[in-house]
Structure formats: structure tokens, C-alpha cells
Amino acid sequence: MSVIKNEPVTEQPAGGLLPTGAVPAGTTGSPPRRTASPADRGSVGVERGGGVGNKEDLAKKTRQAVTPFRRMRPAVRTHPDFRVIVDEDKCTLCRFCVLQCSWDALGWDDRVVPFDENCVGCWRCVAVCPTYAIRIEQWPTMYRENHNWTRFIANSVRKQAGSGGKLLVGTGNDKPYPVYWDHLLIDACQVTNPSIDPLREPMELRTYVGAKPDRVDLAAYLSARERHFIPTDHRSVGDPDRSGDPSANGRPAFDRDLRRRLGIGPQLRLETPIMIAAMSYGAVSLNVQKSCARAVAEMGTYWCTGEGGMHPDHYPYADHTIVQVASGRFAVDADYLNRAAAVEIKIGQGAKPGIGGHLPGEKVTADIASTRMIPEGSDAISPAPHHDIYSIEDLRQLIFAIKEATRYEKPVFVKIAAVHNVAAIASGIVRAGADAVVIDGFRGGTGAAPTMIRDHVGIPIELALAAVDDRLRQEGIRNRATVIASGSIRSSMDVVKAIALGADAVYVGTAALIALGCTLCQQCHRGRCAWGLTTQRPDLVKRVDPEEGWQLIANLFKAWSGEIKETLGLLGINSLESLRGNRERLRAVGLSQAEMDILGVKPAGR
């Protein structure tokens, strides 16, 4: 339904502001805060809408805007997706919805005038209306039912006949493929093993991301200890008062030496196994990134900048930031790599495996340009492949180039899209020296992707994750790298199931955006997100207040962490590592034997 628009469709893949004809003047005004409480809703009137003169003025402008627009209908027509219904009895004529709709779907002519063909169903107007006078409905016209030529497919043909371009869309795959998370059920303790009350007993969610050796070399530990004259006094151990010379214990040289001798690579410490996936500055607004950065810092976890570089505003959160090196190599220099907690090489993205990205020049504002280190207004193009990586050996070189540049102090992640041969690819990546492999499933989100690719390329994360975990174990290299599952992790239970299938941690992207207001209208690529998320228009960007935004995300993570703890408790375990790969505690409903074999789970009832 997402792409059935009257808009001209162009070839711009990445979030451009598409030309949309006349813009009602009212919508450019600067609106009040996004989450007006019901109390202040009443006080929000036209007076506060900046850029609008008086009532008559606005009505005139609306009429001017509408007339040419209505004439501009393309030859091949589709119907609108939605119908906007304004209840005249309830409407207080405050015009707030008109000001807030960034999609030119509401105008003003002494009353609210809906232009249904423009409505994307983003619910912004519904959310801000003080009297709940607005209703958005599916467009009710009935086509003759056809299970082959679905409405979506037929409309796609019509649109492309009009535009001659490929269809674009934002957010993840919305087609009715099976969601395997929803076919997996979790075990619980009864009688023979007691469940554990997370409110009374410690419940550990801490996870370390990074490469681990197969064994701890105790002899090396002891010799390091000896070299640094740190006593191994039984009584002292665990008792800080009697721990010998504390200055010797705390010596950084000792720590480094010890870690090297223990064979432990650099690690990220996650207090909860949930990180925020790459969403670049350009795809999302700076305020979104600020919310993410602060949230993960507060929650003891990490976020990824995406390929758009790291804005100086995020430097205070550098310790919780994973920077990305993608095929466009935007912003990559030694400082960028060393500032971060970890570096992620992006090979692919679940929503659009095998293709690159394109941030059109008009979105490359001065701030984005300087963050990405490219000229202002120039197109930011990420080629489909890295042009210096045509093989696994090449990838190995890049991994080690980054490790050299960061003195082997930062874990290096490699992110790939879940494709058919994902297990073998992941194994190669681990052998190439990556500290973590990120597997991004085909339902993963995107700021902009060709619709047909988003909907038809790649495989589900659940199957990919299970296959990768199995393969790494078969080859005995599972310890050597962390596995991070990504691509539509929607709830704490998805996290639990991912970890039980074998992931160490997960990335969430869309869930964090939903926490900030996203209503999944799938129009991110058009750069006019009414919720201020995937846009750079200053009047829209400020709809996200980072001060409030970080709390929303942190709340979400807190809630999920609580639910994960509770689930561990009912499973009778008190530490996340006892869940990792523990597929015995999952059962399948409604899956084929082949699917269960791949997932490594038994059917429910067995």
C-alpha cells in the first residue's frame, strides 16, 4: 500500500525530497512541540503557526495550491490509499492538523480540506488533534477481488506506467512472509526445576561483544602476574583490603599485558543485549541520533552511527558509539575510527542486499556535508560493493587495516545481509578476523530502498541466524566472534528467541524509531517524515526533542530488559549466557520439518 501515490516517482533511491508540486503555505510554519498534552492542545491555535498571516491569507494560499495540483493528475490513475475524515461537529477549527501534516494532505478553506490522494496514513494529524475529530480510513473503493493481480501489484504497474521509474519505499518488508519468531514458543519451569524470581535473585543480562579464544591460558595469566609482582594470595583474593599493592594491581601496563596473555581481544560490555542499528545522519535527523546516543549511554549499551559519519554533538557518547565504514567511505579517517568504541564494516543491509545507497544532493546540508566530509549539495553515493573488496581476502585486509589504525583496541564488526549462503559467508568473515558478525535479515528497515528489492531479496533473520550459529559451531569457531542478529527485532521476546537460537546480542532500528513516534507509513525515502525522524527539514526535525527522545528509547530498553529477565527467571536460569544457543528451550508451532531442522528446534509437544 505504501507506494500507491499520486506522486511522480523518480530514480532517487535515498530519501530525497521529491518534488511535490505546490506546498500549502501553512505546512511550512513552525509547529508547537510534538507531544502536546491534552491540556495544551486546546491552547494551540493558528496564532502559534509561524509563517501564516491571517485566516483569509491561508485560505487563499490553499486555494492557489490546490487548483494546479488537482489538475496535475497523471494519465494512469490510482486511487488514494487513505481517506481523511474530519468530523465537523468536533473540529474546533484550530488548524493544528493543517500545520502538522507535512504531506500536503490537509489544506484550509475556512475548514479543514483533505486531499486524500496525498495522505500517507502517518497519523500525525490524528495524534495532534485536540478533539479527536480526524479519522483516517483505508480508501473504501472495492476492486474486483483478484488474488493474483493484487491491488498492490496492479497499482505498481499503473505507477510505473506513469513514471517510468523504479518504485521506492522506506522501512522494512511489509509483505506477508512467515515471521518465524511468531512460530517459536518458550519453555518454562514447573516443579522439577524452580523458576527464579528476578526481583529477588540476581539476573544477569551482561554480554561482551568481541572475539574470545577457545581457552584461558592459566599459565600465561600466572606468569603475567608474576612479571608484574602481583601476589596470588588466596586470602587476599576477593578482598580489596588485603589485595597487596593496589597500585600494582591497577597498572595499565599490567592490564594490557594480561589481556594479551589471556588472549582476550577488545570487548564491548553490554549491560543489556540490545544495541541500536546503523541509521546514518542523513537518513535520520540529528535529533534522532542524539536520542539514540544518550539512550544507549544511559542503558550501558551501544549505537551505530551508520555510514554518515559521527557528528561532533555525539562526541560525549563516543564510548558508546560504533562507527561505520561503508562503501562510500564517508567520514573515515584515523580520528573517526579511534574515537569510537568499535568499528563496523557494512557489506550489506537486509532491506536491500547487494545494492548501494544514494543520498541526493539536496539533502546534503552543510552540517551533513561536513559530517560526511563531502562537498555541500553533492550527491552522497555508496556503491553497491566496496570497490576494494572483491573477495574474502580483500575483506581481511580492510579488517586488519582498521585494526592497525586502531592499535587492535577496537572490535571490528562486519555486517552482512542475510542471503542464501549466509552461513558460509559468515564463517569466512570470522576466519577473516572479524570480532563480530552482524546478520541483517530481509525484514530489516531502511531509509530508502527499491520496493521490489526490499520485498523479494534476502532471507529471514531467524533462519539465517540459526544457520550461521550452527555453521560456526560445526567449524569450532563460534567463540571467535560475536553474532549479532538484526532485521526486525520487534519485542523482548524476539530478543529472547534470537539469543536462544544462538545470537549474542541484537540490533534494533525500527523499534527505536517507533519509540520516537514513527508510525510505519513507509515514506522515509521522501524526506518529509511528519514525525521528524527521517527528514532534514528543520521545521520537522524539531518535532523530536532529544531530551525527551532518549528517555523514550531508554524506557523501551528498560522495559525489554525487564521482560528478558523475567523470561530468564521462568526458564530457571539467571544469566544470559545460559540462554545463548539453548534451543532446547524453544518449541515450534506450525513449521515444516525442514524449517524446524534449520532452526534446530523440536515441535511443540515433543
Partner 1 sequence: MRRNLRERIPGGCAIIGVMSETGRRFDGTTVIEGIRCMHERSNGLGGGFAAYGIYPDDLKPYYALHVMSQTHHEHETMEEGIRQHFRIIHQEPIPTRRHPRVGEAPILWRYFVAAPTDFAEPPGEEEYMVGRIMDLNGRVEGSLIFSSGRDMGIFKGVGYPEDIGEFFRLDEYRAYLWTSHGRFPTNTPGWWGGAHPFGLLNWSVVHNGEISSYDANRRYLEMFGYRCYMKTDTEVVLYLFDLLNRRHGLPIELTCSVLTAPFWNEIDAMPPADAELWRALRQVYAGALLNGPFSVIVGFEGGMVGLADRIMLRPLVGARAGDLVFIASEEAAIRAVCPSPETVWAAEGGEPIVARLARSAGGSEPASAHKVEVPAAS
Q: Which residue's CB is nearer to partner 1, number 55 or number 260? A: 260
Q: How far is the CB of 176 from ligand SF4 (least distance, A)?
A: 19
Binding span for ligand SF4 by CB under 6 A among 149-157, 247-255, 389-397, 528-536: 528-536
Q: SS3 sequence, 282-342?
A: CCECHHHHHHHHHHHHHHCCCEECHHHCCCHHHHHHHHHEEEEECCCCCCCCHHHHHHCCE
Distance (Å, whole) CA 319 – CA 72: 52
278 C-beta neighbours (distance < 10 Å), count:
26
573 binds partner 1 (CB under 8 A): yes
Q: Which residue's CB is nearer to ligand SF4, number 284 or number 437? A: 284
Q: Which residue's CB is nearer to ligand SF4, number 342 or number 529? A: 529
Grid look-up 550501558 returns 300
Query: Is residue 93 within 8 Å of 126, Cβ to Cβ?
Result: no
Selected binder of partner 1 within 123, 139, 152, 208 (CB under 8 A)? 208
- Binding to partner 1 (CB under 8 A) within 162-191 occurs at 189
Binding span for partner 1 by CB under 8 A among 91-99, 144-152, 322-330, 570-578: 570-578
Q: Lay out the sheet containing 586-588: strands in order across.
A: 184-186, 586-588, 602-603
106 binds ligand SF4 (CB under 6 A): yes
Selected binder of ligand SF4 within 60, 123, 329, 604 (CB under 6 A)? 123
Q: How far is the CB of 205 from partner 1 (least distance, A)?
A: 9
- Binding to ligand SF4 (CB under 6 A) within 54-93 occurs at 84
Q: Which residue's CB is nearer to partner 1, number 271 or number 367? A: 271
Q: With CB cut-offs between 5 and 8 Å by kind, which of partner 1, ligand SF4, none does residue 204 bind?
A: partner 1
Q: Which residue's CB is nearer to partner 1, number 506 or number 521? A: 506
From residue 364, give the alpha-carbon distance in Å to each of 8, 37, 250.
22, 34, 47
Selected binder of ligand SF4 within 12, 207, 523, 561 (CB under 6 A)? 523
Binding span for partner 1 by CB under 8 A among 92-100, 108-116, 203-211, 274-282: 203-211
Binding span for partner 1 by CB under 8 A among 229-237, 355-363, 437-445, 517-525: 229-237
At residue 268, φ and ψ (nearest 5 deg) are: -100, 135
Spatial CA neighbour of 15 closest among 531, 456, 523:
523
Question: At 548, is the secondary structure helix, strand, or coil?
Answer: helix
Spatial CA neighbour of 389 closest among 380, 378, 402:
402
Distance (Å, whole) CA 253 – CA 256: 5
Spatial CA neighbour of 513 closest among 532, 487, 495, 496:
532
Spatial CA neighbour of 152 closest among 74, 79, 85, 222:
79
18 binds ligand SF4 (CB under 6 A): no
267 binds partner 1 (CB under 8 A): yes
519 binds ligand SF4 (CB under 6 A): yes
Q: SS3 sequence, 452-493?
A: HHHHHCCCCHHHHHHHHHHHHHHCCCHHHCEEEEECCCCCHH
Selected binder of ligand SF4 within 122, 369, 448, 540 (CB under 6 A)? 122
Q: Which residues contact 561 (CB under 8 A, 6 or more apart)?
A: 205, 272, 274, 299, 492
Selected binder of partner 1 within 77, 175, 206, 260 (CB under 8 A)? 206
Q: How far is the CB of 574 from partner 1 (least distance, A)?
A: 6
Spatial CA neighbour of 460 closest among 564, 346, 598, 597:
598
Query: Is residue 305 within 8 Å of 323, Cβ to Cβ?
Result: yes
Helix, strand, coil % (nearest 5) of the chain?
40, 15, 50
218 binds partner 1 (CB under 8 A): yes
Binding span for ligand SF4 by CB under 6 A among 123-131, 156-164, 308-316, 374-382: 123-131
- Binding to ligand SF4 (CB under 6 A) within 530-569 occurs at 530-531, 533-534
Q: How far is the CB of 218 from partner 1 (least distance, A)?
A: 6
Q: Which residue's CB is nearer to partner 1, number 407 or number 606? A: 606
Q: Which residue's CB is nearer to partner 1, number 71 or number 200? A: 200
Helix (H) or strand (E) run with residue 225 in it: helix 218-227
Q: Which residue's CB is nearer to ligand SF4, number 44 or number 106? A: 106
Task: Give the number of C-alpha atoms closer than 13 A to the C-alpha of residue 408, restricted to the C-beta side.
Answer: 8
Distance (Å, whole) CA 303 – CA 321: 5
Task: Give the number of C-alpha atoms closer than 13 A to the C-alpha of residue 361, restricted to the C-beta side.
Answer: 5
Q: With CB cut-offs between 5 and 8 Å by kind, which of partner 1, ligand SF4, none does residue 308 bind?
A: none
Q: How far is the CB of 110 from ligand SF4 (least distance, A)?
A: 18
Selected binder of ligand SF4 within 52, 101, 113, 295 (CB under 6 A)? 101
Q: With CB cut-offs between 5 and 8 Å by kind, which of partner 1, ligand SF4, none does residue 101 bind?
A: ligand SF4
Question: At 416, is the secondary structure helix, strand, or coil?
Answer: strand
User: By CB under 8 A, how many residues form the interface with partner 1?
Assistant: 59
Binding site for ligand SF4 (CB under 6 A): 84, 101, 103, 105-106, 119-125, 136, 170-171, 513, 518-524, 529-531, 533-534
Binding site for partner 1 (CB under 8 A): 189, 192-194, 196, 201-202, 204, 206, 208, 212-216, 218-219, 221-222, 225, 230, 232-234, 236-238, 240, 243-244, 246, 249-250, 254-255, 258-259, 262, 264, 267, 473, 476, 478-479, 571-575, 577-585, 606
